[in-house]
Every structure is written in C-alpha cells, then in structure tokens.
C-alpha cells in the first residue's frame, strides 16, 4: 500500500513503540499534523514553545530510559529547539527530533521559514538527516531511533521537507538495522576486566566515581553490588545522583565544584579510581594537573573518544557500563563465596572518609526569621521519602537540590548538567509527569530560571499534569550573584531581579494553584498541602537572599581547595 511521507512517519513512530510526541505545529509540518488524528495511539502533547517541547521530550527520555520524540516546524520552530537539542547532546539523552523543512526545490533559496537546521545542529546532534526522497524515509527513521538509543545515546534529527511529507511510496518498515560504520562496543575485553578485578583486589584506598553512563545503562544495581561487597565508597556526578542510595554509609555525596568535602578529599587521596560512565568534566576535576595525583585510574565508557580525553586512564575499558560491571561481578564473585557475604575490606581508608564526613558535613543553620533554601530541599526530601522525581533549573537551587535531597533511585534526578540550561527543569518535569502520571514530580526552580519556560504552565494545566514547581525565590540570579560576591568584589551587575511577577497570581492566571511562604515555621505545612493537590502548583518560597552554595571550588583551582562556608 502507498502512504504519504507524513503517514510513513507516524506509522513508523508507532512501530518504534512511541507513545507520545511533544511538539508545536507550523506550515512545514502541517501535513504531519493533518494525519495525527488517524493515529490515536500516538499522544501529542502541545507545548507552548519549541524549547518546552524538546525539554519535555528530553525529560520523558531521562525518566523512562526510552527515546523521547519531538516534532517542530521549519525555521524558527527548528531554531527554538536548538537549546534543547544541545542540552540533550551534552547529557547523552536519546531523543529523535523531527523538523519540517521547506520543499526540496526551495532549499537554499532563502525561502520563507527556511533555515539550514542540519548545518546548525551538526555539532550538537549525534547524527542528523535531511530526507530528500520519500522512499528513504522508513530506513532513516529506523536508523535515527537506533542511533539515538544505542552506544553513547544522544539526539538525532530528521529534517523532512514538505514535499517529501506529501510524496507517496509503498511502505515497508525495516525490521532490523545494520550500519556498517557504526558498531558500538558493549561487551568489555575480558583481559581488561581481569586487570580491573586485580586492581580492585589490591587497592587500599579505592573509590567509585559514577557518571551519567551508570544511569543510562541501568547499571545501578551492579554498581551497588560492587561497592557493598568490596566496601568501596561511592561518589557521583550531578548526572549520576540516585545511582547509589544516599542513605548508605558508603555514599560520599556528589564530587566536584559543589561536591562534598569527603568526596573531593577522597578522590584526591584515593589509590584507585573506578570511573564508571563519567567523562571527567571540568566541574568535576577542577585543576587537571592536581586531579587525583596518586590514583590509578580505570575509565569505563561506551564512547571510546571520551577515554583519555581529559585524564590519562591507566586501564581504559571501552564498554557499556552495565555489561562491564556484570563481567567484573562474575570475575570477582569467585572471591566471595556468597555475593552477600560480609565485606572483605575494612581499612583505615574508610575510617578516614567517615571522619571527613563527620567533621565537615553539608550544613546550614535554620533560624526562625528567614527560610534557608537548603531547609526547603531537606523538607521536600523528607516529605517525599526520596521517592519523587526531582527536576531542576540551573543555579544555586540546582546545587542545593543535588546536595540536600536524599536520592534513593536512579532516574529520579533530572537536571541539565553539561549545558546548564536555565528553563530546562519545568518542561522536563512535564515530560516526566506524562511518562509517570501517578508519581510526584517536582521542579526545584530559581526565580530567574523559571521565567525562561514559564509559558509551559499552559501545557501542564491543559493536560491536567500535577507537576509541582517549588521556587527558591531569592530575588537574584543567585549563582551569578554568588560569583560576583566571591570573585568580583560584590559588583552585583544585572543579577538583581527587582521586577518579578507575583508567582501566585501567575499560577492562578494559567489555571494552576499558587502558594507563597516566607515563614520557616510554615514551610512543611505549605509543601504538604501543595504536594497533596492533584493539579499543577507553584510554591513561591521566599528564601534568604544572599545564601551561598558551599562547599565551592573556585574555577581553575584544585578540588581540595574548597571554600567551605
Ligand atoms: C539559558 C541560560 N542563561 C544564562 C545562564 C547563566 N546562569 C547560570 S546560573 C544563573 C542564575 C540562575 O538564577 P536563578 O534561576 O534565579 O537560580 P538561583 O541561582 O538564584 O538559585 C545564570 C544566569 C544559564 N545557565 N542558562
């Protein structure tokens, strides 16, 4: 049977088991929208801005581990999505973006709403396609989903000209895909695994440094087995929070610029670092020449180009994190007769870490006058027992959420790490809530960031999504103000948000509920009430204006040079 390009696209999305598409229409995709009602199993969520649509698709992907799908029109629709594409790219999130394009004969003619989105997104997609012939479309879609989800995941863009959407051909969807030049390595080299097992047995001061790859490959359980069985303390990047339970004594907290004292000291003093699915980002390493000088570094990553990129790894392992940890487990299990046997290692190392944790914990003092932002996150953590899906915007609130929420499960912390995109958290929360209608999804926001995609309140209300936004409202672009305070002689240039909307009224104007709280004694009751409401809610929490995130490693310094208060 012959189908149009638009029909082929939608039919193929169903065959890929896509359940939801986040999008925004326009002339260059109207043919696709025209067909949408014929595919009732494909839910379309209409965002109010293309940036909202792509972040929502991204949030859906991070919460579920499945490929998120985003559909936007040509020209400004496509460029509005670029920030979200780059966000997904930096954090290795699998999304497929379909952009409309002007008809093929007009490409390159400065046609109305034409933009070279393939050229624009080349550096921030894993791959992109311009489809010129409708007969190529099924194969392109199959390849796009395959590329997005396999190897190091990432965004893949399909640019679809209007005449290709209208052209017809016989539809055959490929069952399997083979791309000769693309063969990600999943299974680790057994010799490398044996080497790692050996150094794990011998190390006196080992540490696991977990990155987003642990979450992406669903390797948390195996990582937890390794840590507990061999008594190896665990630290993680922002992207990996939740991969190891925060209430375990082996948990050191996040490392890096706003990492804990214990984690940064531990990584600096370790003799063995097992870097699992992490990329040695500069926010983690600080001054590279000072980073982990005494350690043997084992680096496991599915992307061979990320190994040896920033830090020299003594034992490089190209593999999927889960496959590697399973193989390591098999090798090491011979060491312990019973996998749940008592830990085999009990060293002064662990005692030292415990004392670091005790001497210099994450701390703040909550008085009776002003609400401390850390306190709000602690209350959220307590009320939700670590079971909520927390998304964040970018800034101080993001770091407080990372530091003070006790994450117990993978895929429960969703935040823009690599790109650091203000405006990400709320639409990402919408995507997560679409995926999990019955879970509590909370966007911890700053008063600056939330204004970047605030229009998505209409989306949340329209689809009855009970997302909660908790604004830690300090009246500043707080994280920039903190840098100005510490490193620019308090020159608070353009960081004071003097004019702000009344967030309670704003919520109500969109049909959501709004609360405001400024008394520390009322934080808990207001949040309890807000979380129980089955609708979209903004809680505007007026917090201490000039509270800082601590510890802090000044940019370019070694991670042991922390400012502690
Ligand atoms: C799109 C974008 N623009 C600018 C920045 C730079 N930036 C990083 S944090 C920050 C301040 C964020 O302020 P707010 O959302 O109020 O959060 P707070 O730091 O006060 O918690 C800014 C401007 C960014 N990360 N993203």
Q: Report the distance separating Cα 229 and Cα 231, nearest Å.
A: 6
Tokens of 562: 């922390």
pLDDT digits (tens, 9 = 90+) for 366-398: 999 999 999 999 999 999 999 999 999 999 999
Kindly give the number of the ligand 1 atom that is closest to the alpha carbon of 398.
21
Q: Report the distance separating Cα 481 and Cα 484, nearest Å.
A: 5
User: In Å, how far from its chain's centre is CA 2?
Assistant: 40
Residue 3 Cα to ligand 1 midpoint, Å, equals 47
**Residue 16 contacts by C-beta under 8 Å, 6 or more apart in sequence?**
67, 141, 142, 145
Strand order in the sheet with 95-101: 43-46, 20-24, 68-72, 95-101, 155-161, 127-130
Closest listed residue to residue 60, CA positions, set 451, 463, 528: 463
Note if the pTM is more than 0.85.
Answer: yes
The residue to mutate among 449, 485, 493, having the most atoms of ligand 1 within 8 angstroms of its beta carbon, is 449
Give the model's confidence band at 455: pLDDT under 50 very low, under 70 low, under 90 confident, else very high: very high
pLDDT of 448 over the 70 cut: yes
DSSP characters over 311-342: S--SEEEES-HHHHHHHHHHHHHTTSSSTTSP
What pLDDT is attached to residue 334?
A: 79
The residue to mutate among 427, 477, 496, having the most atoms of ligand 1 within 8 angstroms of its beta carbon, is 477
Centre a 10 Å sphere on the Cβ of residue 291 and count the other Cβ atoms it contains: 21
Residue 480 Cα to ligand 1 midpoint, Å, equals 7
422 in ligand 1 pocket by Cβ < 6 Å? yes
What pLDDT is attached to residue 342?
A: 42
Residue ID of nearest Cα to ligand 1 atom 4: 422
Q: How many residues does the chain have?
A: 565
Q: Report the distance separating Cα 281 and Cα 30, nearest Å.
A: 41
474 in ligand 1 pocket by Cβ < 6 Å? yes
Residue 53 Cα to ligand 1 midpoint, Å, equals 20
pLDDT digits (tens, 9 = 90+) for 68-104: 999 999 999 999 999 999 999 999 999 999 999 999 9
**Unique residue bearing structure tokens 């050996």:** 198
pLDDT digits (tens, 9 = 90+) for 128-140: 999 999 999 999 9
What pLDDT is attached to residue 337?
A: 62
Residue 512 Cα to ligand 1 midpoint, Å, equals 24
CA dihedral 281, 282, 286, 291 (to 10 degrees): 50
The residue to mutate among 84, 238, 283, 394, having the most atoms of ligand 1 within 8 angstroms of its beta carbon, is 394
pLDDT digits (tens, 9 = 90+) for 274-326: 999 999 999 999 999 999 998 999 999 999 999 999 999 999 999 999 999 99
70 in ligand 1 pocket by Cβ < 6 Å? no
pLDDT of 340 over the 70 cut: no
Contact assessment for residue 57 and residue 24, using Cβ atoms and an 8 Å cutoff: no
Cis peptide before 119 (omega within 30 of 0): no
Residue 397 Cα to ligand 1 midpoint, Å, equals 10
Kindly give the number of the ligand 1 atom that is closest to the alpha carbon of 472.
21
Residues noted as catalytic: 50, 112-113, 162, 479
424 in ligand 1 pocket by Cβ < 6 Å? no
Residue 395 Cα to ligand 1 midpoint, Å, equals 5
Report the mean per-residue pLDDT for the chain: 96
Buried b (16+ CB within 10 A) or exposed e, 541-555: bbbbeebbbbbbbee
Q: Are strands 95-101 and 68-72 parallel, antiparallel or unpaired?
A: parallel
Residue 392 Cα to ligand 1 midpoint, Å, equals 11
**Residue 269 contacts by C-beta under 8 Å, 6 or more apart in sequence?**
205, 294, 352
Tokens of 286: 């600080």
Please give, one letter per residue, the 3-state secondary structure of 276-298. ECCCCCHHHHECHHHCCCCCEEE
**Over pLDDT 90: what percentage of the chain?**
96
237 in ligand 1 pocket by Cβ < 6 Å? no
DSSP characters over 386-453: T-SEEEE-SSHHHHHHHHHS---STT-EE---SS--TT-HHHHHHHHHHH-TTS-EEEEEETTGGGGS
Q: Report the distance separating Cα 351 and Cα 353, nearest Å.
A: 5
What pLDDT is attached to residue 347?
A: 82
Quote the Cα angle for 75-421-409, to 5°.
125
Pinpoint the alpha helices (H) of 178-249.
Answer: 190-202, 212-216, 220-230
Q: Report the distance separating Cα 291 and Cα 123, nearest Å.
A: 29
376 in ligand 1 pocket by Cβ < 6 Å? no
Q: What is the mean pLDDT of residues 495-524?
A: 97
Distances (CA, A) of 354 to 202, 224, 357, 360: 21, 19, 5, 10
Residue ID of nearest Cα to ligand 1 atom 3: 422
**Unique residue bearing structure tokens 């034992």:** 315
pLDDT digits (tens, 9 = 90+) for 10-56: 999 999 999 999 999 999 999 999 999 999 999 999 999 999 999 99
Kindly give the number of the ligand 1 atom that is closest to the alpha carbon of 474.
20
pLDDT digits (tens, 9 = 90+) for 146-203: 999 999 999 999 999 999 999 999 999 999 998 999 999 999 999 999 999 999 999 9
């Amino acid at each position: 049977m012959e189908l149009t390009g638009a029909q082929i696209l939608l039919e193929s999305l169903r065959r890929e088991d896509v359940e939801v598409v986040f999008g925004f229409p326009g002339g260059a995709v109207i043919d696709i929208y025209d067909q949408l009602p014929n595919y009732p199993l494909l839910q379309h969520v209409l965002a109010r801005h293309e940036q909202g649509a792509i972040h929502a698709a991204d949030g859906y992907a991070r919460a579920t581990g499945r490929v998120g799908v985003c559909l936007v029109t040509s020209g400004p629709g496509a460029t509005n999505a670029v920030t979200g594409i780059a966000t997904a790219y930096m954090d290795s999130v699998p999304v497929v973006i379909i952009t409309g394009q002007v008809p093929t004969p007009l490409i390159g003619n400065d046609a109305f709403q034409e933009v070279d989105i393939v050229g624009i997104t080349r550096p921030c997609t894993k791959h992109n396609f311009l489809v010129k012939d409708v007969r190529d479309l099924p194969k392109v879609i199959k390849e796009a989903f395959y590329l997005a989800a396999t190897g190091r995941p990432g965004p893949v863009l399909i640019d679809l000209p209007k005449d290709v959407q209208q052209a017809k051909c016989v539809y055959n969807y490929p069952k399997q895909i083979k791309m000769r030049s693309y063969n990600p390595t999943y299974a680790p080299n057994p010799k490398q695994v044996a080497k790692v097992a050996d150094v794990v047995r011998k190390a006196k001061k080992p540490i696991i440094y977990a990155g987003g790859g642990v979450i992406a490959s669903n390797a948390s359980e195996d990582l937890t087995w390794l840590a507990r069985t061999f008594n190896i303390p665990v630290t993680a990047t922002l992207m990996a929070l939740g991969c190891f339970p925060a209430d375990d004594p082996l948990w050191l907290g996040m490392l890096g610029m706003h990492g804990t004292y214990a984690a940064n000291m531990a990584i600096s003093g370790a003799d063995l670092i097992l870097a699992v699915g992490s990329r040695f980002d500069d926010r983690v390493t600080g001054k590279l020449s000072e980073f982990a000088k005494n350690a043997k570094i084992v680096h496991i990553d599915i992307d061979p180009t990320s190994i040896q990129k920033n830090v020299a790894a003594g034992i490089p392992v190209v593999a999927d994190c889960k496959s590697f940890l399973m193989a390591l487990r098999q090798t090491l299990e011979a060491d312990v007769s019973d996998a749940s046997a008592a830990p085999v290692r009990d060293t002064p190392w662990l005692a030292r870490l415990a004392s670091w944790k005790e001497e210099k914990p994450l701390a703040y003092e909550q008085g009776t006058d002003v609400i401390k932002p850390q306190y709000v996150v602690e209350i959220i953590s307590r009320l939700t027992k670590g079971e909520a899906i927390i998304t964040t915007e970018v800034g101080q609130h993001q770091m407080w959420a990372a530091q003070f929420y006790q994450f117990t499960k993978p895929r429960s912390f969703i935040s823009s790490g690599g790109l650091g995109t203000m405006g990400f958290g709320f639409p990402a929360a919408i995507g997560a809530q679409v995926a999990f209608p019955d879970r509590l999804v909370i966007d911890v926001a700053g008063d600056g960031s939330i204004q970047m995609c605030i229009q998505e309140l209409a989306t949340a209300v329209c689809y009855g999504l009970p997302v909660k936004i908790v604004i830690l409202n300090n009246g500043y672009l707080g994280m920039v103000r903190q840098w100005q305070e510490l490193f620019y002689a308090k020159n608070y240039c353009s960081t004071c948000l003097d004019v702000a909307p009344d967030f309670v009224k704003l919520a109500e104007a969109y049909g959501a509920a709004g609360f405001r709280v400024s008394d520390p004694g009322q934080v808990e009751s207001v949040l309890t009430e807000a979380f129980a409401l089955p609708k979209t809610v903004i809680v505007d929490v007026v917090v201490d204006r000039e509270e800082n995130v601590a510890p802090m490693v000044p940019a370019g310094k070694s991670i042991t040079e922390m400012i502690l208060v």
